[in-house]
Amino acid sequence: MEKVGEKMEEKVWQFIQKHHMLEAGDRIVAGISGGGDSMALLFLLLKFRERCGYEVCAVHVNHGIRGDEAFRDETLVTKYCADRNVDCEVFHCSVPEAVKKYGWSEEEAGRILRRQAYEQVLRQWKGNKVALAHHQNDQAETMLHNLSRGCGLRGIRGMLPVQNGMIRPFLCIERREIDHYLKEKKIPYRTDSTNFSDQYIRNRIRKHVVEYLERNVNSKTVSHMAWTAGIAAQAEEYLCGQGERILAQYGELLPGEIRISDDCLGEPSILRMYGFLQALEKVSGYRKDLSGEHLEQISRLFQKETGKQVSLPGGTTAVRVYGGIIIRKTVKEKVETRKKMWTLPVPGRIQCGKAFWETRIFSYESQKIPEKAYTKWFDYDRIKKTLQIRNRRPGDRIMVTAQGGRKKLKDYFIDEKIPREQRDELILLAEEEEVLWIVGKRISEAYKITEFTKRVLEVKYQGGREVE
């Protein structure tokens, strides 16, 4: 008779294969907290390693919140890995200090600090994927949280199995299946005492909403919600593709704005809406706070006389012009240079003010380098330290010739006749004082793809001109 554990293993393995999560030669960085979910994930990654031929490195982050309890979690993870000859990297950080310094919530601070740890190990260990232990109960909590704040299909879809270099092999199973598996396989784990506190939003949703629904409405609530998330993800992917088609067919990309022709009115309303949404994201890099009503306002603008306009979130305006509408950035936000800075997650996605950055890593096999203004490729193995998104600072320099010739950024701006008032507004991607990319201008010769490149870091930027 097939055991529960064997059934779960097969379900997870089929899910991994369906989404091409694990392949021979992969170097997987696994986020391991010491809790049941992550320890089960580590157990399975080590077991499946025999089938697939990849390598695993565990990463444990001590958030500096729970004192001795956190150190006991750390001890469990490091001993478990040492006993199995698995690489394990441990990071100590202070969530309370990050909350105080940056104004983040505890949950947000913990998430950001973990991502930074994963990024560092990816770079140093030459990893290419991050494995996380999110399961269907986590998915249900994410969906409900998004719905409570108001969302479209993107919010309903929740987390994706494969997303920005992260893989989630457990999105096909519920927490109860993991609990059975832990018991059957006698996998050691620890329980985080903060899981029972109503201080955190996710805990409140889990304890007072999801568990209530399972007890009093439908015992299969979690699996049904996971199925819905999958359908929503497919629908969102299709509609985003249609939105891009609408924009390509009826739109004209101009400096700082997009013009959409009246001819789009022959398309179904929902497809037009996604076209408008894509246009707004491209112009401002801003999606938060955009509602269905805003998209309806743009649609109604086509029926108005020339000159009418609608103000939209993200400092954008839609204006009725002859033969169509123009969506443009209208608010030039002031910035305080030398104060704002973000760490670029690699791989991953981050919102910096109202702009979005997205990165991925892949093997270089002489592919054609894209000639796009806001998508750039860099030789990943030439990058040795954390990448920062920021404005210019004293001492910044950039390599401008393949022979190694460098210029101070100030001199480069003067030589290129970039107006003085624009220099503090330009966005930089930098490794300490070495500038990789002046967004909208050029990249450094020091990080360009060559015949010797093995791994590529692709960086995509969507947003306005300023870092805010």
Tell me: is residue 192 an annotated ligand-binding position.
no
Instruction: Find out whether 137 and 364 touch, Cβ atoms under 8 Å.
Output: no
User: Is 83 annotated among the ligand-binding residues?
Assistant: no
Reduced to 3 states (helix: H, G, I; strand: E, B; else coil), residue 415 is helix
- Whether residue 363 is annotated as binding a ligand: the answer is no
Helix (H) / strand (E) containing 204: helix 201-205
251: annotated binding-site residue?
A: no
C-alpha 78/C-alpha 60 separation (Å) is 8
Round to the nearest angstrom and report the end-to-end CA distance of the chain: 61
**Is 36 marked within a binding site?**
yes
Within 13 Å and on the Cβ side, how many CA atoms surround 381?
12
Contact partners, residue 153, CB within 8 Å, separation at least 6 = 232, 235, 236, 239
Q: In DSSP terms, which residues pair with 56 in a beta bridge?
A: 28
Spatial CB neighbours of 241, under 8 Å, sequence gap ≥ 6: none
Q: Which residues contact 140 (CB under 8 A, 6 or more apart)?
A: 210, 221, 222, 225, 226
3-state secondary structure of 264: helix
Angle, vertex CA 142, rays to CA 166 and CA 277, nearest 5: 80
Q: How many angstroms separate the CA atoms of 468 and 463, rounded?
A: 11
Name which of 468, 467, 402, 401 is nearest 430 in CA terms.
467
Q: How far apart are CA 377 and CA 444, in angstroms?
A: 11
Is 33 flagged in the annotation as binding?
yes
Residues of 274-299 as b/e, b for ≥16 C-beta within 10 angstroms? bbbbbbbbbbbbbbeebeeebbeebb
Asked, as a colleague might, if the bond just before 96 is cis with ω within 30 of 0, I would say no
Tokens of 193: 């005492």
Binding-site annotation: residue ranges: 33-38
Binding-site annotation: residue ranges for ATP: 33-38
